[in-house]
A and B are shown apart, each in its own frame.
Chain A
Amino acid sequence: MAVIPVERKPLTLVERTYLPQILGGLKTTLRHFVTPKQTMEYPEQRPAIPPGYRGVPVLVKDPHGREKCVSCQLCEFVCPPKAIRITPGEISADAPDAHVERAPREFDIDMLRCIYCGLCQEVCPEEAIFLQNQYSMSGYTRAEMINHKDRLYELGGTLPDQHFKWDKKKAAEVAGNAGH
């Protein structure tokens, strides 16, 4: 690489007094008085959340209103800070979704431990847990900061996908194709 010698001119007498620089600086700061403010005034103005944002992890239901989680507990195992605690439960035989067999009885996410890494979402075979847009969690007690199952579904809402994997499996079984 070529070396380019840069000539450093000695400072002139006026420059050595430091005054033109101060005046220039004052001009710059004065200009900032009239420029538009950069601050977003938070509670009133909210930032636009980009796609792929990892907010608070929540559970979702499918378009038929069935909870997608089958309490396989993979997310509980993968969770690095051990924020997730699942108590698995069975779906009673007379329920319409009985063929799914399992659903969580309890599903707690401790938001004081969660590190928003998104591994739970990545590992979930049922696409039941998602890190969605909510970025602000607060409470007055530690107990308040644990999201229980009902709260998780309330925050998560419905995922509008059309897989209906378990319904297809049941239909295949009925048609005599149990190995499907």
Chain B
Amino acid sequence: MVDFYLQLHPFVQGLLKGLAVILVIFPLGGVCSMAERKVSAWIQDRPGPNRAIVPWIAWIPFFGKFLQRLGLFHVMADGGKMLFKEDSLPDHVNKFYFVLAPIVAMIPALTTVTVVPFGAYLDPAGRVIPLVLANVDVGLLAVFAVASLGVYSLILAGWASNSKYPFLGSVRASAQLISYELSMTLSVIPVFLWINAPGAEGTMGLGKAVEFQSLPGFWGGMWFIFLMPVSAFIFLTSLFAETNRQPFDMPESEADLVGGFHTEYGAFKWGLFFVAEYANMIIGSGVFILLFFGGWNPLPWIPIADLVGWLHHLTGSAFWANPFVVGLLSILIFFAKVIFMIFVFMWVRWTVPRFRYDQVMEIGWKKLLPLAIANLLAYAVGIAIVQMKG
């Protein structure tokens, strides 16, 4: 199996890998929408969706009931509905761009995943090799560059809808995304100043950031959240704004703009926007975890290599040295963290009331941006002193 895969043309290999990742991200977006409904219900003392069930699963005595209460089959019901209901195209829209917008929303959401590592394995020499579709040095820059294309879909959708609420929504979206992108980019510069020593070969790769959080010693094993809490805070806040999540849901503003940019959309096209939003959230959370929460390392000061070493030592079996097992374990740890982050997104959404548009702008330009600049200057000076000493 492995040999067959390895003898394939690299292009085909890449295609298969990409397909595998998309096949995970796309349904995960759907599951997230379910999780959102469930989390909101639990926060509001409701049981949430708990009725849909597939007959042959209802026959399983205890587990079937559990899955039903969890509302897992509502995902299928929702997806089925979105696929098969009438996909209406209003008369007053600009048809070409109207159809293009949801597609443009999906492309950046699924493209950014190529440079985000989601796990790692140990090669025979004991080095940690990140599992990533394209391990390029441009890394985070690519994520930022491609993710910021996502706003085009909102602008296209709002403009093509030819209706005032979507238009207002898309205007707000563009203003908001431009404002918060600045703080977001500035907030991660200290991380890469720390990683890249002057004069040496530099990288913006996300795998490298995790590598620096897996070094031995007190300072080496420390996750960057402890080292740069302000950066992490600014990044997280901007991430909320960039993914259009509450309390920064200006483009959607269902209270004052009906549905914002997707007011005129329905059925599968609307579903694509939705999945794209959740895919953005998943990838944003992934980047946040890689940068500040140690990526696939289970705990601060305990890198995955140590964990595997201990397990190998404890059980004495070669099972834990198998690269596949290590890879799966690291993916599992990483995904657990990502899912927790998604939960935090939802938790915040159902806690914090949304900001007014002017407040969003004020927080972005008058609070976060100066803070990000001050943070960058402080860390630049600090890192320069440390590196000159060392």
Contacts and interface: CB of A to CB of B under 8 A. Distances in A.
B350 A29 contact: yes
A25 interface: yes
A157 B58 CA distance: 39
Contacts of B66: none
Contacts of B16: none
A36 B46 CA distance: 9
B43 interface: yes
Contacts of B46: 37-39
Interface string B42-65: 111111000000000000000000
Nearest to A21: B352
B347 interface: yes
Given A22-B352, A25-B352, A32 B347 contact: no
A1 to B, nearest CB: 34
A22 to B, nearest CB: 6
A25 to B, nearest CB: 4
A140 interface: no
Contacts of A35: 45
B45 A22 contact: no
Interface residues of B, number: 11
A37 B352 contact: no
Contacts of A141: none
B275 to A, nearest CB: 26
A43 to B, nearest CB: 10
B351 interface: yes
B348 interface: yes
Interface string A24-54: 0110111011011111010000000000000
A31 to B, nearest CB: 10
A88 to B, nearest CB: 48
Contacts of B352: 22, 25
Given A22-B352, A25-B352, A30 B347 contact: yes
B69 to A, nearest CB: 10
A29 B43 contact: yes
Contacts of B42: 32-33
A37 B45 contact: yes
Instruction: Specify the main secondary structure of chain B where it touches its partner.
Output: loop
Contact of A39 (B43, B47, B351): B47
For B42, B46, B348, which residue has the most chain A Cβ atoms within 10 angstroms?
B42
A41 B78 CA distance: 21
B351 A22 contact: yes
B348 A26 contact: yes
A28 B351 contact: yes
Interface string B257-281: 0000000000000000000000000
Instruction: Specify the main secondary structure of chain A where it touches its partner.
Output: helix
Contact of A33 (B43, B47, B348): B43
Contact of B47 (A26, A29, A32, A37): A37
Contacts of B348: 22, 26
For A29, A35, A36, A38, which residue has the most chain B Cβ atoms within 10 angstroms?
A29
Nearest to A28: B351
Contacts of A22: 348, 351-352
Nearest to B51: A41
Contacts of A41: 47
For A30, A32, A41, which residue has the most chain B Cβ atoms within 10 angstroms?
A32
Contacts of A39: 45-47
For B45, B47, B347, B351, which residue has the most chain A Cβ atoms within 10 angstroms?
B351
Interface in A31-84: 32-33, 35-39, 41
Contacts of A36: 45
Contacts of B45: 32, 35-39
Contacts of B350: 29
A34 to B, nearest CB: 9
Given A32-B42, A33-B42, A25 B351 contact: yes
A58 to B, nearest CB: 32
Contacts of B351: 22, 25-26, 28-29
Contacts of B43: 29, 32-33
B257 to A, nearest CB: 24
A27 to B, nearest CB: 9
B74 to A, nearest CB: 15
B37 to A, nearest CB: 14
Contacts of B47: 37, 39, 41
A69 to B, nearest CB: 42
A24 to B, nearest CB: 9
A26 B39 CA distance: 13
9 contacts: A26-B348, A29-B350, A29-B351, A30-B347, A32-B44, A33-B43, A36-B45, A37-B47, A39-B45
Given A26-B348, A28-B351, A32-B44, 10 more contacts: A22-B348, A22-B352, A26-B351, A29-B43, A29-B351, A32-B43, A32-B45, A35-B45, A36-B45, A38-B45
Minimum-distance CB pairs A-B, first 7? A25-B351, A38-B45, A29-B351, A29-B43, A39-B46, A37-B47, A33-B42
